[in-house]
Chain A
Amino acid sequence: MTYTVALAQVNPACGDLEYNVKMHVAQVEQALEAGADLIVFPELSLTGYTLKDQTLDVMRPADCPEFACLRELSRHIAICAGFVEEGANSIPYNSAFFMDAGEVRHVHRKMYLPTHGMFEELKFFGRGGELSVFDTRFGRTGIVICRDLFHPLEVSTMAALGVELLLAPSAMPARGFGGEQLAIEQTVGLALGSASTFLGMFVVYVNRVGFDDGLGFYGGSALSDPVGGITISAPLFEAVQVLGTVDTAHIARHRYQLPIRREEDLEIVRHALETRRNS
């Protein structure tokens, strides 16, 4: 199976839900015209990132009336976008939904909320406690939000649970301007390469652009292919939509060539953890 994915490298307006929903609709329509089957937006794409106390104002359940137009559009194209989710417990979560066939099919709550240096997510958000692994028409799919991608144990576990398509909406600020590439770009490249090369997954990494209070998000969205490496790479700093093609045959081909999945033995991990716990 081959399908087309649109990477919507956008610049959301911080705290302006109405503007952002309209921007999402325009992006989805553009992707539809281009023949895409799936569109992926960055982390908190519907709200902006540096919300602080605006978090309370913009939190919504995924099935809220404001997102009805996106649910409607998802009859024609699957949509993954970031938002502040109002949990049933009234706690705000940094989440991403996956809509398809007119419905919210899944919501992932970010598990690892960076709270150090320039980041202060745990000050405002509840922490997600579950890996997101769910079946879609694209195969077994997983979502990691930004920092989640940097936790190899979780990404490996998702691979062990059968994930073939990993969606990675992000809001990574630029830093480390000393080299040919930004330092953060290199770090992300390691995570993408690791997931595709060792775990045999496609990864759709979509990072936002624009500035929030001096933090500049660098873009550089990418499609990472188990066979081809980074096949699509969006420019730095520019708001663009780029298209990539996923050929699911690459998964089997790669896993045959480098059969790490076949070799994987989670019993070794389980044994190590139990031994450690009992010692």
Chain B
Amino acid sequence: MTADALALNNTLVYDYLKRFVQEELHTSGFTEACIALSGGLDSALVLKLAVDALGADHVHAIFLPCRASSDESRRDAHTMFEFCGVPWQELDISGMADAYLALQPGIDRLRTGNLLARLRMAVIFDQSKKENALVIGTSNKSELLVGYSTWYGDMACALMPIGDLYKTQVRSLARHIGLPQQVIAKAPSADLWAGQTDEGEIGLSYETLDQILYLLVDQRCSSAEVNSEGFELDLVHRVELKILTSQFKRVPPPIAKLSQRTVGIDFLYPRDWRK
């Protein structure tokens, strides 16, 4: 298998996603969108998409650094604000984090990372109330499938326009629409500590991960079939395990059914429900 199987008609995809953002927002009765910008590629693409869909005047972007954030993130976030013509907004969450961290001596990196992601979530949702806006999420399909994201943290949003695009497809689309090269070329990172990279954390490159995910998920191949496409069986099993163990993040919590009609089970209405 080659990476060509993941190639997309980016012109068509971008047009479609713009319409998705416009319609999902307007159907919900909103004209404004809020986006937390990290300086990374996913939020950069979503910002540009939202601005093209709604107009810069209707997009409220905010950079939410903490003490661990790199100078590079600030620089790239700044570049994207300028590139999209939206005013710079910044709110440092270090003070909020410190207040809690002081009460938790010995807290590890993972818990700290999750805490920071959830503080950003709390801020962006508060900002969205202030602006009467919906929060647009920036999760991509690769991280949703392997669970490389914080439940009720960066996953929390009203809509996910790039949630069905693998990371390598996000890169390709970003190149297609001409995002600044420095944002496209940088190593993906959750930026929770110095030198952290997604690929270091996940343990393989997005090129490899995306091809394995594509075969397992989109093509419904067995692990043996993926192996026969040239991917080590151990690696394939590791990816399968990541998908399995993160399933809870991708579904609403189960509700114990008691009545004739239960929310989430047989009280069935579309998200875009309007009477």
Contact = CB atoms under 8 A, between A and B. Distances in A.
B272 A14 contact: yes
Contacts of A154: none
B16 interface: yes
B16 A177 contact: yes
Given A15-B273, A213-B272, A182 B12 contact: yes
Interface in B226-275: 267-275
B13 interface: yes
A13 B274 contact: yes
B24 interface: yes
B181 interface: no
Interface string A175-192: 001111010000000000
Nearest to B24: A211
B19 A237 contact: yes
A220 to B, nearest CB: 12
What range describes how many residues of A lie at the interface?
20 to 34
Given A174-B16, A211-B20, A216-B16, A50 B272 contact: yes
A216 B19 contact: yes
Contacts of B271: 213-214
A213 B270 CA distance: 6
What range describes how many residues of B lie at the interface?
20 to 34
B204 interface: no
B19 A211 contact: yes
Interface string A121-164: 00000000000000000000000000000000000000000000
A236 B12 contact: yes
B24 A53 contact: no
B12 A52 contact: no
B8 interface: yes
A40 B24 CA distance: 26
Contacts of B24: 211, 214
B12 A50 contact: no
A180 B12 CA distance: 9
Contact of A14 (B8, B9, B20, B270): B270
B269 A52 contact: yes
Interface of B: 5, 7-9, 12-13, 15-16, 19-20, 23-24, 27, 267-275
16 contacts: A14-B270, A14-B273, A14-B274, A15-B270, A15-B273, A16-B275, A51-B270, A53-B267, A180-B9, A210-B23, A211-B24, A211-B272, A212-B272, A216-B20, A236-B12, A237-B15
